[in-house]
Amino acid sequence: MGRIFEKIINSSSGFFITGTGTDVGKTYFSAILLKYTKGLYFKPIQTGTSDITVVKEMTKLNENYFSEACYHFNDPVSPNIAAERENRVIEIDNINLPDSREHKLLIVEGAGGIYSPISDKHFMIDLIQKFSLPVVIVAEDILGTLNYTILTYKALIDIGCNVAFIVLNKYKPSGYNYRCLNEIINKPILRLPYYNNFPGADEIKGVINESI
């Protein structure tokens, strides 16, 4: 692969980080990418515990690398339900990208998967389409990943989104997901191994440079 991920990251001004579902590693990879690039992290819609706090703890970066959410709800549920419980409505027209000109890269993290509803009219995929950023799909290396990843990829491609690459989180060298996804989807796949603790700068550079 050479240093294809390094080249993709360095040639872009931003990415939208989505996932094949909830808890597959979107926030974790966003922290990896933030630590690697010293960019700007932005999660426009947050439900439950703040992912900004989680990413800060992992990366040890200060406030300058974070932009506040447009909507933050207390309950850790689907955005439309979280808003409903607080008698609020998420208006997609009111969600705009922050000014990231002082940063190398804008890292936008979605909530849930691409069809996570944000209102009775819109889904997360509509926000992805509005922002027009290259998309990174995060999937966990488990049973079912092939189906979830291919469905997500095809849905994004069908509406004209640019999928930059796929991240296979908690990569298992003995598994088959990496090989099969390479055969089915014509996109680079970043193998992100499991770490007991958040990786240091050298480990992150090694993953990005495919030296695992």
Residue 207 CB burial class (10 angstroms; 0-12, 13-18, ≥19): buried
Q: Which domains does the chain have, with CATH numbers?
A: 4-210 (3.40.50.300)
pTM (two decimals):
0.96
Is there a binding annotation on residue 24? yes
**Beta bridge partner(s), residue 42:** 67, 108
Residue 43 bears catalytic tag: yes
Ligand-binding annotation for 152, yes or no, is no
Q: Is 41 annotated as a binding residue?
A: no
The CA-atom distances, in angstroms, between 103 and each of 9, 12, 50, 146 are 13, 12, 22, 34
Q: Which of 7, 35, 38, 43 is catalytic?
A: 43
Q: What is the pLDDT along the chain (212 residues), one digit of tens a residue?
A: 558 999 999 999 999 999 999 999 999 999 999 999 999 999 999 999 999 999 999 999 999 999 999 999 999 999 999 999 999 999 999 999 999 999 989 999 999 999 999 999 999 999 999 999 999 999 999 999 999 999 999 999 999 999 999 999 999 999 999 999 999 999 999 999 999 899 999 999 999 987 55
